[in-house]
Amino acid sequence: MALLDSVSSPRDLDGMSLQTLDELAQEIRDFLINKVSRTGGHLGPNLGVVELTIALHRVFDSPRDPLIWDTGHQSYVHKILTGRQDFSGLRAQGGLAGYPQRSESEHDIVESSHASSSLSWAEGISRAFQMTGQDDRYVVAVVGDGALTGGMTWEALNNISHDNARNLILVVNDNGRSYAPTIGGVARFLAGVRARGSYRFFKSSAEGFFGMFGAPGKALYRGIRGGTRGFLSYFANNDDLYSNLDIKYVGPVDGHNIEDVERALRQAKARNAPVIVHVITEKGRGYAPARNDEADQFHAVGHIDPITGEARESSDTPSWTSVFADEMVAIADRRDDVVGITAAMLRPTGLYRMAQKYPNRVVDTGIAEQHAVTSAAGLAYGGMHPVVAIYATFINRAFDQVLMDVALHKAGVTFVLDRAGVTGPDGPSHHGMWDLSLLQIVPHIRIAAPRDAKRLREELNEAISIEDAPTVIRFPKGSVSPELEASRRTDDGVDVLADASHHDVLIVAVGPMAALAMEVRSRLADQGIGATVVDPRWVAPVARSIVEMARSHRIVVSIEDGIRIGGVGTRIRQELRAAGVDTAVDEIGLPDEFIDHASREQILEQAGLTPQHIARNLVAQVMGMKVPIARPLPAEGDPMSSSGVVEEENATFD
C-alpha cells in the first residue's frame, strides 16, 4: 500500500520516521505531477512546499492551531494531508477548489486568494485567542517572499510588533519568486541571505566541526543552526531586517529538510511570542520541466504532459492577453512617453513583450497594486502616459488610489484589466466581476470593453490618447472572440451591429457579449420580434446615441459579464431617466454573489446568460407578461399584435 493511502488526517503523520516522511514527500510530488497535469492548476508552488507542509502539520495541531496560507497557491499539499485526495475534479464544478475553501474542510481558514493578507488574518485571530484566554493555541501564517512586497504585510508586522506576547508564527516561504522572480529591496535582501557565501560556509563547516564531538556537539549545532537571530546574523551578514520590529527570527532553514524545518518550528513555538521562521524552498522542486521553466517555473499550468511538461492542447486563436501584449509594443514604438506598469504579473498580463524591447519603460512594482496606481499618477504628472496592466479582481485593492490619486488629479492613466468577468476555475476571489460597478462611480472615468481583437487594438489606442482622465480597457480570460464587424458607427462612436425593421428591442452588448447578443437577436427574429444590437465600445460614459435609440425602442436590454448591481445596464437606465426617456431597461448580468469555481460556460448558464434564456424573457416582456414590460409605441398601438409577435406558448427556442 502506498504511504499516501494511509494518510487521511494530519495526525497520521505523527508516528512516521524521517525516512518514511521523505518517502511520503516523494509520493506527494508524484501525485501532484500526475493529477495537476490532467486538470491544470498551481503546480510549481505546491511542489516547493511539500516538506514544509508536512512539518507544519506535524508540529502544529490543525485546525485547533489555524494554518493560514497567503494567496493559497500552495495549498494543494495541505489539502492532501487533511483528507482531500480526490483531485480528479480539481478546479472543476463540484470538485476541489484550487484555493482553501471552508466548505471543504475545517482545516481551511482563509479563502481569499489575494496576496499579502495572511499576516493581518493571523494577527486578528491570535488577538482573539488572547482576549478569550486561549493561550494554548497557536496561529501560523505562511507567506511567500513575493507577498512581502505588499504594503499590507508591513502594516500587519508593525501591529504585531506592538504586542509581542502572542503565540504567532510567521513562516516566510522564500523561493525567490511570486509569478516571476520577486523584485525590490526586500527581494535583494532575501537573495543576499540565500546566496551569502559566508552563510553557506558557516552551515557546512560548522555542521562538520560540531559533528566531530558526537551527539553533544550535534545538539549544540542544532541549537545554533536553528537559532538565535543574532548569532546567525553575524556569520550570514543578515542586515537585521526584522530587528527593529522586535520580532524574533529563526533561520534561514532548508525548506526541503523536514528535520530542520520541524526543529525551527518547534523552537519558534517554544518562544510564546511572535516569531518569523525563514524557510528557503525551490519552486517546482523535483520536477525538471518546472525547474527549467524560466518564465514562472510552472506557477500555473493547463493540461500538460506529465513527462515533458509540454501543453497537451494548443489554440490557433490568440488570447486577449497576447493581442494586448503585441499592441503595447507597437504603441511603444510610436510613442516614447508610454510606460507599462504591473504588480508582479509581467508575463500574465502581457507586458513582458514590451519589457523585452523597452526594459527601461516597464516597471514591476511587486505585489503592490496601491503603490502601482499612485506611482502611475506621478508618472502622468511628469509627462508620461502610464498603462497599468493587472487582473480585474486586483483593481479592487487600489480603488482609493484610482479615485483620489488618478481621477481627482485628472491624470492620464490607462488601466488594462485582464481576466475581467468570469474567469471560471480559479473561483470566487479571481472572478473579475466587480470592476464595472466599482469604476463607474469614479468621476470622468472612461471605460471600454472590446468585443474582439480589432476593437481591443483600436480602443487601447483611443485610451492612450486621453490625457485628462483615467481610462480603462477590460477583457476576459482566454482566446479572443471571432471578429464581428459593425454595419455602421454613430457619430459618437457606438457600433451598430444590426438594425431592425421593427424597433422592439434594443440590445446593448458589453464587449465579448456581442456574439451572444447577435444570437439572441436571431432567436427573437424567429418569433417576429425586431432587435437592434449595439456595441457601445465605451460603456462609460453612456453615449448620447444610445439614449436616442432607446427612445425609439420598446425595451432596452443590457448584457454584461459583471454584476448587475451598479453595472452598465443600471447606468443606462439612470441616463434614460435623466433624459426623460421612459423605455424600460432589463439589466442582464451576474448575480451579486460569490460565484464558485466552474467553467466559464457553466457559470454563464447558471446566471441565465444564454441566448435561449434571454430570448425567452424578452418575448415575455414584449408580450406584456413579465416585468419590465415593453412599452407600446405610439404608431404601433397594441403591443401584442402590431409587430407580428407570436403567442408565448407557440414560441420555440431550442
Provide the annotated active-site residues: 283, 369, 397
Per DSSP, helices labelled H in 498-635 are 514-526, 544-551, 568-578, 600-606, 611-622
Q: Which of 65, 153, 141 is nearest to 110 (CA)?
A: 141
Contact residues for 480 (Cβ-Cβ < 8 A; gap 6+) = 317, 318, 319, 320, 323, 452, 453, 456
As a whole number of angstroms, the distance between CA 103 and CA 7 comes to 21
184: amino acid identity, one letter? G
218: amino acid identity, one letter? K
Q: Nearest 5 degrees, angle CA 591-CA 592-CA 594?
A: 100
As a whole number of angstroms, the distance between CA 527 and CA 76 comes to 51
Cis peptide leading into 628, omega within 30 of 0? yes
3-state secondary structure 52-70: HHHHHHHHCCCCCCCEEEC
Q: Which of 644, 654, 648 is nearest to 624 (CA)?
A: 648
- Residue 644 CB neighbour total at 10 angstroms: 11
Q: In what order do the strands lie in the sheet with 385-391?
A: 362-364, 338-342, 385-391, 414-418, 471-474, 446-448, 538-540
Is 298:289 a contact under the CB 8 Å cutoff? yes
Residue 449 CA to its chain's centroid (Å): 19
Q: Which three cell numbers stand for residue 39?
A: 486538470
**Helix or strand holding residue 342 (H, E):** strand 338-342
Q: How many contiguous H segments (helices) and E segments (strands) does the chain have?
A: 23, 18
As a whole number of angstroms, the distance between CA 13 and CA 78 comes to 13
Q: Which of 274, 271, 301 is nearest to 289 (CA)?
A: 301
Contact residues for 392 (Cβ-Cβ < 8 A; gap 6+) = 417, 418, 419, 420, 421, 432, 433, 434, 435, 474
Cis peptide leading into 428, omega within 30 of 0? no
As a whole number of angstroms, the distance between CA 644 and CA 4 comes to 67
Total residue length of the chain:
654
Query: Which DSSP string do the residues of 394-443 spell out, in sequence order?
Result: GGGGGHHHIIIIIITTT---EEEEESBB---TT-TTT-B-SHHHHHTTST
Torsion angle defined by CA atoms of residues 180, 181, 185 and 188, in that order, rounded to the nearest 10 degrees: 170
